[in-house]
Structure 1
C-alpha cells in the first residue's frame, strides 16, 4: 500500500460490506464464501485493494458492538490474506482496526477521521500503516442534523486539516495520511455537489484524496423519474462511474467504488486520452 500512496495512476478501492444492512449491498456478502468470491472478482476486475466493512454507516443506522463487527470481518480478512488480496479495514474502532491489521489488512479507512475512538491514532502509528481520514461530524443515527455549513468547502477543508494535524500529533507519519471529503456524511445533496465541484480545494491541503460517491442517494435523486422516485441503488452505476471519473480528472488519488469493472474501464479510456495530450 505504501507504493499505492505514491502511485501516479488512479487507485481503485473496491467496496466489500460484510453486513446485513448496508445501503447498497447489505446481506449479499455476509457469508464468508460469498464475500471472498466477490473480493477476488473485484481484484480480477482491476481493483487495487478491497475495503472491508463490518458495520453499516448508512444514514440513520444504529451501532453494533465491536465483537459483532470483528466477528463479521475477521474470517473474511484471513481468507483473503491467505490469497494475497490487498485490503483495507473500514472501521471507526481501534480494537477492530488492530485485530484486522494483525489478520492481514494493510490500511485503516476510518470514516470518523479518528474522532470516534481516541485510541485509533496510536494503533495506526504503531502499525505504520496508511490511514484514510474522512470528514465526519457524528455517528449515522444523528448525522443528518449536523449538515449545517456556512461554506461547506471551506469548513470541510478546515476540519480535515485539523484531523490530519491530530493524526500527526498522535505519531502518524504525514506520508501515511489520506483525506476523504465524506460525501453523504452530514452532507446534503447540495453539499455533495459543491464538494465534488471544488475537490481541488481538498486536494490543495497536500494529501492524497480518496473520493467516494458510489451509488449514494444524491445520485439517485439526480436520476429520479418523472414521478420523483429516486433511481434504485442498483441502477446508479453509470452516474457513479461518471462521478468517479470527474474526481480523478480533478486530481483525486483514488476512488472507492462498488462497480469496479465499469470504473476501471472508464479510467482506462481517460488515461489513454490523457497520454496523447
Structure 2
C-alpha cells in the first residue's frame, strides 16, 4: 500500500479526468514498492496519512474447469470471520476493497461504527455504483481512441502532446530514434535535397496493368506495416521521435509514363514533391 494524490482538475471532462487518474497510477515508480521499503525497512518517517485506502485484490475468474463445462471451485461470499484483529488501529478512515468474481466487480467498505452510520456508507456505495454506471455509459458511447503516454513505447510525452498528435494523425505509437536513424536524419536535415541514402528499386511488369488493384494492394501494405505510416518530429521536447499513425489517408500518386524505357525512368527527389521525413506525404508509385 502506498499513498497517491490525484489531480481532480478535470471533473467536468470525464474522459480527460480518467486519463489523468490512469496516468497518475501508471507513473508510480515500481508500483509503489519503494514507499514500503523506505517506510517499513528503512524507518523513514512519512506523515502523510490518506483518509481513504483502496485495495484491488484481483480477478478471481470463474474457478478451475472440471472438463465438463462447470467449475470445481467457486469463490464463496459467505462470512469467514474478520481477517484482522478488532483491536487493530485503523490506517485510514475508510478502507475500500475490490475484486472481480465471474466477471462482476465486488466492492466492500470497511469503516468504524463510531464514525459513520450504516445508512451513510450504504448511501456512499449507492452513489459509487451510480457514478460507475455513468462512466461505463459514457465510455461505451465513445467511438474515438484515447491513447495516453503510458500506452506508448516512448513514455516521455505530456498528455497534451499525445492528445495533439492523436487529433492530427491518429496516433498508434511513438518511438525514440535508434543511433543509426539519428545519423540518417542528420544527413537529411543537413541537406534535404541531397540524394544520400535515397534508394529506389524498379521492377518490370509484363501484361495488362490494373492500377486500381495496385493502389488497393499498396494501401493494404501500408495498413499492415507501421513503418510505412511513420514520420519523424522534433516538436516535442529536445529529443527526436518517430511517430506512427494508425492509418494513412493521403493520396497515392501513380505516374504513368508510356513509351519510356524502364532503364531511363526514375522518380527524383528533386522534383516538385521532395522526400519529407517530418510528415506523411503522398506515396508515389510508377
Larger Cα-atom Rg? 2
Greater share of helix: 1
Task: State TM-score, norm by structure 2.
Answer: 0.24
